Amino acid sequence: MRKDIHPKEYRKVVFKDLSNDYTFITKSTVNTRDTITMEDGIEYPLVKLEISHTSHPFFTGKIKLIDTAGRVDKFKSRYQTRYANMPAVTPESEE
């Protein structure tokens, strides 16, 4: 094995799941500008996560559904007045 390929600057870092505010402390070399003060009164570097094991559907068994039908309905309602005034296109009128 090659020597000196692993980082040596491990420090305690807080990872925070933004979807449910779950935090955990672990050692890491990740660089971050954000910090957080934990219950022990010590300030740690903070890494914000979109998803963790406490919010991932595989671990929770719950599926979060994205409302795609709502998006389509919003689009149709937004442009309904524009397309309502247009003449209908028939195969005879295309030629």
Contact 17, 55 (CB under 8 A): yes
User: Longest C-alpha distance within the chain, in Å?
Assistant: 77
pTM of the model: 0.57
pLDDT one-digit tens code per residue, 14-48: 999 888 888 999 999 999 999 999 889 999 999 99
pLDDT one-digit tens code per residue, 80-91: 776 666 666 666
Contact 45, 34 (CB under 8 A): yes
- Rounded Cα distance, 55 and 95, in Å: 55
